Amino acid sequence: MDGTGEGFGGAGAPVAAGAGQGAGVARVPGWRRVSAWLVDYALVITVAVLLGILTFNRISAMLGDVEGLAGTGVWKVVTSDGDLAEAGQALGESLWRRSIRAVQQGFALLVLCTFLYQFLALAFAGTTLGKALLGLRVSAAGGAAGEARRPTRRAAAVRAAVTTVADVGLLSLACCLLLSGAFLAAGVVLVLTVVGYLANAIPALLGGRRSLADRFAGTRVHGGLLGTTAALTARYTAQGGRAAWQAAQRVAESERTRAVLGRGRQLLPQGRREGADPRPADGIPGSGIPGGGAPGEVPAGEGGRPADDGAAHQK
């Protein structure tokens, strides 16, 4: 685009060409998507840490329950017909299973909290905390250009489910399988975790900037009001800078022209530079003498004789 005002709507309408469409479908820079994801994932990690502390306290309380352990131990001894070794092994296995169950419940709560956060944020606000901080919003992909409709609850649920599975769901399942002793299954799920994460993230950074979750839910991420304002500000700033640069060039050219003309005047002879106006003044002939004669010439009287001679004859 040149600096002649193209894209301003011609007759003074300061709207860039395609600004309405760009406000609705313009691609969001990849760094903003990554930054928003980091903020949201930091929240998930915070919840995971809190759930981990809660789970640790539950297991500690379970192991510190002396009365409960004593009662369980006595029951194991009774059911094992007095075999203390078998009773001890059964008690240890019971404690291990209860601990594993507590950890698995913690992972399940983490997945549930992540899904609820994504779903409630998208269904009622159209954005998450990370996206809001970066000026991003999620809207239905089928809207008209420039129209940003909040996703339906079904679309929000689908997007939240896919995002949750890709971010923490598969990883939590792999950890639970690993704790249960299903090492082969845990390895397979770990590979699926990496594949699912990349399949969801890479499309969001390339092409149409729509992640796997966006494609399943029929949504898209756009810049919102902040992104549109920033884009238009950048466009108009660039156009203003280009116009200022052209004006500065014109001023410089005029200064150079005046400098050349001044040097040319200095090269002219002094008389030609100070030449009088060729047009005579009112009542004064071009020679500067009344009557219009040449310098040093006496004005003639009637009949062609000098004026003084006529006066002498009259006397």
**Which residue ranges make up each domain of the chain?**
27-222, 225-266
Q: Assess whether pLDDT exceeds 80 at residue 117.
A: yes
Whether the CB-CB separation of 211 and 131 falls below 8 Å is answered with no
Model pTM?
A: 0.60
Whether the CB-CB separation of 151 and 219 falls below 8 Å is answered with yes
Who's near 25: CB < 8 A, 6+ residues apart? Answer: 145, 220, 222
Whether the CB-CB separation of 159 and 214 falls below 8 Å is answered with yes
The residue-averaged pLDDT of 11-39 equals: 60
In 19-29, alpha helices (H): 19-25
Lowest mean per-residue pLDDT among 1-15, 69-83, 183-197: 1-15
CB neighbours of residue 173 within 10 Å = 21
User: What is the C-alpha separation between 23 and 289, in angstroms, rounded?
Assistant: 81
Provide the 8-state DSSP code for 300: B
Who's near 103: CB < 8 A, 6+ residues apart? Answer: 55, 59, 176, 179
User: What is the C-alpha separation between 141 and 210, in angstroms, rounded?
Assistant: 10
Highest average pLDDT, of 6-10, 232-236, 264-268, 270-274, comes from 264-268
User: What is the C-alpha separation between 265 and 272, in angstroms, rounded?
Assistant: 10
Nearest 10 degrees: Cα torsion 103, 107, 113, 115: -160
Whether the CB-CB separation of 112 and 191 falls below 8 Å is answered with no
Q: Token pair for residue 43? A: 């929240």
Q: Assess whether pLDDT exceeds 80 at residue 202.
A: yes
Q: What is the CA radius of gyration of the chain?
A: 46
